[in-house]
Amino acid sequence: MTTEENYLTRNGHSTWYQVHGAEQPGTPLIVLHGGPGFPHNALRTHIALAERGYPVVLYDQLGCGKSDRPDDPSLWTVEFFVEELEALRQHLGYEVVNLIGGSWGGSLLFEYALKYPQYVHKLVAHSPLVDTHLWVAEADRLKDELPDGQGVRMRELERRGETEGEEYTRLSDLFDDHFVLRVPKDQDVLDAIAGMGAQVYHTMWGPSEAHATGNLKDWSVLDRLSQISQPTLLVSGRYDEATPRQMQEIVRRIPDIRWELFEHSSHSANLEEPEKFLRVVGEFLGEKGT
């Protein structure tokens, strides 16, 4: 299986991408990473899906990983990243694609499918963010599950705006260990952390997974999900920061949807239950992505 690596140049900036199995005849699968601003590395598990007969495209959204990092916070908007994805589809010459996106990548997946439905065949939404107020409310509830009352301290620091010190970083890491990734970090995860685009993350989201202060703080796609017409697979974990309550709101809105809850996972089922993840996603996409 071939691997091709190159850059999309758009508006003077370069976006890195990699295509696995470009020679495969099936419907291409484009992988949308989360964050915003956490690059593709932890999603390299998805490369194995190319064995089912279709190209798999990984890319680093502008501002992180191997892509350019312009020092311009005004760039980092939902609309910008939707158009970057559309430019990548056109650049690769794909008439129709399947999309898989996790967390913020799931937000981007829905926004793209709503704006460009004619180019999308199937959707795989992995623990997607669909409503920031609901996400933050659920994250605040999850803080009560942290040991020794440390969620109370986390809230206190957030109320006081003290989110840049060592104590808050430690508490944020503790939250992540419970609700984002419950297995040891492998090299791909470490590479994703090292390649993080901090300006993108802080501009769009905020200081931690559990505290939104950026331009996504009032974002929601809930009232538009009924317009999603593509067959959709929803994947999430039992211990996920994208909680079952949030996933239920998605399931009752999208007409053609199936939800697979991973009982031993949090926010990273592809790393926590990788064999099952690849099987479930592969079966949904079908041979050659059809």
Catalytic residue positions, numbered? 103, 240, 267
Residue type, 88: L
Burial of 108 (0-12, 13-18, 19+ CB in 10 A): buried
Separation between Cα atoms, residue 274 and residue 110, nearest integer Å: 24
Task: Report the relative pairing of strands 120-126 and 97-102 from DSSP bridges.
Answer: parallel
**Token match 């890319």: residue?**
59
Distance between CA atoms of 187 and 184, rounded to whole angstroms?
A: 10
Close Cβ partners of 137 (under 8 Å, ≥ 6 residues apart): none
Question: Which residues 6+ apart lie within 8 Å of 289 measured at CB?
Answer: 26, 27, 28, 29, 52, 53, 54, 98, 121, 122
Neighbours of 242 (CB within 10 A): 29
Strand order of the β-sheet with 120-126 is 3-10, 13-20, 56-59, 29-32, 97-102, 120-126, 232-237, 257-262
Q: Return the structure tokens found at 72.
A: 């311009």
